[in-house]
């Protein structure tokens, strides 16, 4: 069984991403894929907020290409920031003629949009953004970007969700884009009393035994905003795993996890399924512990 690695929202933190992938032995110091047949999942929101979203996009695409040549794979999901950036690109030129009545361009800028990313993005990179899958299923693990009801509203199979998402991304009316972005911006649906039921519904429709998401930083999910120790957050009866390590919000923040991809292992109640967590900072070394954590 080949390794399965997952990282949450990178948000333009290129040097943090490099360091984490090097420590996980998925990339070398020249940005080349080292993961052989491994799978690396990125949970969306590659760009905005941090200093070099375009650099992140180009690094991920390079690894995607190299991994596929090596028998591995890099899966980069659609996040709401990918959609915001596509909306900004689409409506930017129409602003002066009143063609952006809902301020989609400003919405992107106010949420950390970087003009350099927008202006230097190549047409084929825009196409790549439009093609990002909204969900990914790997064995018993179901991956999505957001802890939002969007996916359930879009369809009852992963194919329906993908088809309706790409229809929204082709839509020319700003109303469609606003609706889609508002639904995608929702968060924390699994922390409520109905959270377990919603997670069960997601897994029932789309497959898998555990739901993994980014989008909402782990300290928000855990209700410990003052904690400097950001770690994966397993909740909703152990069926949901939050992995947004707040990379662009907090210095030294960020982690990547290796998940247990052995079939049937997630049937064990109470088993979180994380084999390793690799952190960005050396805080674990400082207290004499190994750099990786094992469950």
Contact residues for Mn ion, defined by CB under 5 A = 45, 79-80, 215
- Alpha helix locations (H) across the chain? 14-23, 53-69, 80-91, 104-110, 115-120, 123-130, 150-154, 158-170, 174-185, 195-206, 218-222, 283-286
Contact 199, 240 (CB under 8 A): yes
Min dist CB 27 to Mn ion, Å, is: 24
Please list the residues that pair with 259 across neighbouring strands: 4, 274
Min dist CB 143 to Mn ion, Å, is: 14
Task: Tell me the DSSP string of 24-39.
Answer: TTSB-TTS-B--TT-E
Choose among 84, 83, 106, 82: nearest CA to 94.
Answer: 106
Min dist CB 9 to Mn ion, Å, is: 6
Min dist CB 79 to Mn ion, Å, is: 5
The CA-based angle 280-284-285, given to 5 degrees, is 100
C-alpha distances (whole Å) from 107 to each of 52, 113, 290 are 19, 9, 42
Question: Which of residues 147 and 260 has its CB atom nearest to Mn ion in the complex?
Answer: 147
Question: Which of residues 9 and 260 has its CB atom nearest to Mn ion in the complex?
Answer: 9
d(C-alpha 239, C-alpha 190), whole Å: 10
Question: Which of residues 45 and 140 has its CB atom nearest to Mn ion in the complex?
Answer: 45
Residue nearest to Mn ion (CB): 215
C-alpha distances (whole Å) from 52 to each of 43, 63, 131, 291 are 17, 17, 21, 27
Min dist CB 290 to Mn ion, Å, is: 31
Question: Which of residues 210 and 215 has its CB atom nearest to Mn ion in the complex?
Answer: 215
Min dist CB 264 to Mn ion, Å, is: 32
* Residue the block writes with tokens 């299923």: 137
Question: Which of residues 80 and 281 has its CB atom nearest to Mn ion in the complex?
Answer: 80
Question: Which of residues 33 and 177 has its CB atom nearest to Mn ion in the complex?
Answer: 177
Question: Which of residues 33 and 255 has its CB atom nearest to Mn ion in the complex?
Answer: 255
**Other Cβ atoms closer than 10 A to 248:** 21
Min dist CB 77 to Mn ion, Å, is: 10
Strands 73-76 and 39-42: parallel
Min dist CB 216 to Mn ion, Å, is: 8
Question: Which of residues 138 and 215 has its CB atom nearest to Mn ion in the complex?
Answer: 215
């Amino acid at each position: 069984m080949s390794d399965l690695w997952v990282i949450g929202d990178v948000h333009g933190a290129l040097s943090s991403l490099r360091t984490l992938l090097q420590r996980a032995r998925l990339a070398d110091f020249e940005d080349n894929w080292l993961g052989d047949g491994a799978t690396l999942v990125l949970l969306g929101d590659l760009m905005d907020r941090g200093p070099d979203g375009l650099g992140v996009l180009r690094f991920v695409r390079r690894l995607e290409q190299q991994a596929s040549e090596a028998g591995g794979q890099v899966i980069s999901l659609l996040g709401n920031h990918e959609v915001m950036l596509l909306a900004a690109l689409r409506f930017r030129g129409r602003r002066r003629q009143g063609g952006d009545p809902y301020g989609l361009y400003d919405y992107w800028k106010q949420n950390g949009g970087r003009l350099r990313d927008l202006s230097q993005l190549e047409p084929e990179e825009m196409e790549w953004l439009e093609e990002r899958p909204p969900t990914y299923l790997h064995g018993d693990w179901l991956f999505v970007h957001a802890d939002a009801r969007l996916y359930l509203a879009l369809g009852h199979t992963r194919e329906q969700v993908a088809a309706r998402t790409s229809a929204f991304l082709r839509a020319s009316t700003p109303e469609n884009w606003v609706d889609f972005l508002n639904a995608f911006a929702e968060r924390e649906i699994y922390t409520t009393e109905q959270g377990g039921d919603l997670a069960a519904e997601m897994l029932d429709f789309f497959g898998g035994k555990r739901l993994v998401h980014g989008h909402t930083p782990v300290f928000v999910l855990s209700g410990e905003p003052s904690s400097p120790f950001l770690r994966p957050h397993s909740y909703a009866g152990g069926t949901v795993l939050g992995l947004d390590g707040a990379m662009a919000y907090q210095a030294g923040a960020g982690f990547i996890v290796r998940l247990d991809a052995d079939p049937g292992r997630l049937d064990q109640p109470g088993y979180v399924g994380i084999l390793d967590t690799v952190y960005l900072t050396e805080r674990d070394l400082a207290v004499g512990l190994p750099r990786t954590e094992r469950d």
